[in-house]
Amino acid sequence: MNIILLGPPGAGKGTQAKRLETERGMIQLSTGDMLRAAVAAGTALGQKAKSIMEAGQLVPDDLMIGLISERLDQDDTKNGFILDGFPRTTAQAEALDVMLEKKGLKLDYVLQLVVDDAALTGRIVGRYTCAKCGKGYHDEFEKPAIDGVCDACGSTEFKRRADDNAETVMSRLEAYHGQTAPIIPYYKQAGKLKTVDGMAEIDEVTREIKAILG
Ligand code: ADP
Ligand code: ADP
Ligand code: ZN
């Protein structure tokens, strides 16, 4: 099965994608993670993307489309993929349709995580991940069982994203409402859109998604 997780920054896309990976053997394709890896490695893409990401704006469509097209050609997508953070514009959504057709791949569902804007800042500012294995946490909503120790790998080192601050959140939300939300009708018309109550607790959101995917 191939799906898109759609929703504003902090909606829970990454959290749910990781659960689908573990439970279904699908692979999470997070364009945000790919860009952060490119920035850390100092590649040409990373150099172009760094300041754009720090400002909370969107990286140009041609770069993103090229990045995801190459990624879809790798073998680990064969058991199904979860697009997390792509597409984010109408141009990206249209280009995705064209590339999937060319590659002989099918999109099954677009799951829209619906969350009130007011809840997003708190989710983003409280977000952190394990520096070793990447497991996601939240200061309030998803704490490790033992304070300061990763549940998954036992590491005691954690990190926070440079763009997860209250100022950048405003630009990221603007980008979502102005440039990303307009793709919702596109998928509705295609009969692929399913909405999920992203305000529910993490486990409940997982259950809702399971009910849709079967
Ligand atoms: P996204 O990938 O959509 O930006 P994340 O999955 O990284 O969002 O979630 C943002 C933060 O909110 C994380 O710290 C995560 O632990 C927390 N979170 C995710 N889903 C929920 C939820 N349903 N309720 C409360 N907090 C959540
Ligand atoms: P979040 O999980 O909070 O929604 P992401 O990790 O998906 O954020 O993305 C972080 C940043 O990377 C975005 O604010 C944007 O600058 C850039 N980015 C990620 N995916 C895309 C995309 N498909 N198109 C344009 N920019 C992107
Ligand atoms: Zn860990």
What is the identity of the amino acid at 154? G
Atom 9 of ligand 1, nearest CA residue: 12
pLDDT tens for each residue of 160-197: 999 999 999 999 999 999 999 999 999 999 999 999 99
As residues whose CB is below 5 A from the ion ligand 3, the structure lists 130, 132-133, 135, 150, 152-153, 155
Instruction: Tell me the two tokens of residue 168.
Output: 């950048």
Q: What is the pLDDT of residues 68-85, one digit of tens each?
A: 999 999 999 999 999 999
CB 143 within 8 A of CB 127: no
Cβ–Cβ < 8 Å for 52, 142: no
Nearest to 77 by CA among 35, 18, 21, 38: 21
Task: Please report which helix (H) or strand (E) contains residue 97, including its range.
Answer: helix 90-103
114 confidence band (pLDDT: 50, 70, 90): very high
Q: Where residue 56 falls among pLDDT bands split at 50, 70, 90?
A: very high
**Does 15 contact ligand 1 (Cβ within 6 A)?**
yes
What percentage of the chain has pLDDT greater than the value 70?
100
Q: Provide the 3-class DSSP secondary structure of residue 56.
A: coil
pLDDT interval class at 55 (50, 70, 90): very high
DSSP string, 145-166: SSTTS-TTT----EE--TT-SH
Q: Residue 129's pLDDT is what?
A: 97
β-bridge partners, 110: 4, 193
Ligand that comes closest to the CA of residue 120: 1
Using the atom order of ligand 2, give the atom closest to the CA of residue 176: 4
Cα-based distances in Å from 162 to 90, 125, 137, 139 = 27, 10, 16, 16
Ligand 2 atom having least distance to the Cα of 53: 16
Which one-letter DSSP state was computed for residue 143? -
If we measure between CA atoms, which residue out of 17, 92, 23 comes closest to residue 61?
Answer: 92
Packed helices 61-72 and 44-54: angle between N→C axes, nearest 10 degrees = 120
Tell me which residues are annotated as active site: 13, 88, 127, 161, 172
- 127, 119 Cβ separation under 8 angstroms: no
Nearest CA to ligand 1 atom 13: 127
Cα–Cα distance measured from residue 77 to residue 81, given in angstroms and rounded to the nearest whole number: 5
| pLDDT digits 0-9 by tens, 130-142 | 999 999 999 999 9
pTM, two decimals, is: 0.97
